[in-house]
């Protein structure tokens, strides 16, 4: 099987995986803020967690929560 890769470009510039991950985290934080404003309850590993604590978690952990 061949090794496959995907390259993304915007305005003629290649987007790095780090840039894409940063944007994904930014969007995730935006959604968390919006949900928090309407009173959502968040849990992480089965325990209640507030939005500020959720923001402090590493990227992969925020996605898992």
pTM for the model: 0.73
The per-residue pLDDT for 7 is 86
Please answer whether residues 9 and 43 qualify as being in contact, where contact means their C-beta atoms are separated by less than 8 angstroms.
no
The per-residue pLDDT for 4 is 83
Give Cβ neighbours of residue 36 (< 8 Å, ≥ 6 apart): 42, 51
The model's confidence at residue 53, banded by pLDDT at 50, 70 and 90, is very high
pLDDT digits (tens, 9 = 90+) for 2-18: 888 888 899 999 999 89
Strand runs labelled E in 1-65: 8-10, 13-15, 42-44, 47-49
Rounded to the nearest integer, the mean pLDDT of the chain is 90
Tell me how far apart the alpha carbons of residues 43 and 15 are, in angstroms, rounded to a whole number.
32
């Amino acid at each position: 099987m061949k090794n496959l890769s995907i390259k993304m470009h915007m305005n003629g510039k290649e987007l790095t995986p780090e840039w894409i991950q940063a944007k994904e985290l930014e969007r995730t934080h935006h959604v968390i803020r919006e949900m928090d404003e309407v009173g959502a309850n968040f849990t992480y590993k089965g325990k209640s967690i507030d939005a500020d604590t959720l923001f402090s978690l590493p990227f992969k952990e925020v996605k898992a929560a």
